[in-house]
Amino acid sequence: MSTLFISDLHLDLSRPEIIRQFENFIRDEAVQADALYILGDLFEAWIGDDADSEIGQRFIDAMQPMRDAGRPAFFMHGNRDFLLGERYARKAGLTLLPDPSVINIHGTPTLMMHGDSLCIDDETYQAFRTLSRSPEWQRSFLARTTAERQAFADAAREESMRHTRDGNNETIMDVNQKAVESAMHKSGVYRLIHGHTHRPNTHGFQLSGPSAERIVLGDWYEQGSSVNIKAGP
Ligand code: MN
């Protein structure tokens, strides 16, 4: 019994080595697990299921061993691929999960999030997040041509790189501990798994008494990264 978690692969045709690592990861490791959870930013960018996407097809092909083995794969939106919809998910054999979601992993209720909603000190980003998750914004964005959407995504990526580079210190770009605790309280859990910050670690702390943990998944910019939770003896 084992459950695998990954996030922040940022799959993109410009990084073929990472695509190959992902194909190997699925074929050699993920097919052995009981379930695979992808907690957002699977793709570097996603401008809509209707846009022809070669990287989208590569992912569908890479997931074939999972579908053949009948292993379930779940996907939660990240800030790069929040427009990934039911239509593509069905083709890829992914079940969409809301952010946040709670699952019971081998007896331990566990909260899963992408993690961007916990970075509440980054007000510029939170304002954009609220706007871009509204059905109105998404409807009008998806009504534009794919060329216009691609141009918007490229500009947003530039802007986000600039935002990370200047004037925004490490603390602002990380999760806020109060937001972490409040999310865990609300869900009644003592374990949280998230990605987004690209700072893989396990943080232990007291959550109003009992000990709690926050597992942060790593990104795939340089190499594969996953967390495997096995059923304890
Ligand atoms: Mn992210």
Ligand 1 center–CA 233 separation, angstroms: 34
pTM over 0.85: yes
The list of the chain residues with pLDDT below 50 reads none
- The per-residue pLDDT for range 194-230, each reduced to its tens digit, is 999 999 999 999 999 999 999 999 999 989 999 999 9
* pLDDT on residue 159: 86
Ligand 1 center–CA 43 separation, angstroms: 10
Task: For domain 2-230, give the CATH number.
Answer: 3.60.21.10
Task: Give the domain ranges of the chain.
Answer: 2-230
Ligand 1 center–CA 159 separation, angstroms: 14
Ligand 1 center–CA 216 separation, angstroms: 12
* pLDDT on residue 207: 96
- Provide the edge-to-edge strand list for the sheet that holds 101-105: 101-105, 108-113, 191-194, 211-216, 201-206
Ligand 1 center–CA 40 separation, angstroms: 7
Q: Which residues surround ligand 1, an ion (CB under 5 A)?
A: 41, 78-79, 196
Q: Are 215 and 193 in contact (CB under 8 A)?
A: yes
Sole residue written with tokens 């990472």 = 18
Q: Which ranges of the chain does DSSP label H, i.e. alpha helix?
A: 16-28, 54-62, 64-69, 86-92, 123-132, 135-142, 146-165, 170-173, 177-187
* pLDDT on residue 6: 98
Ligand 1 center–CA 44 separation, angstroms: 9
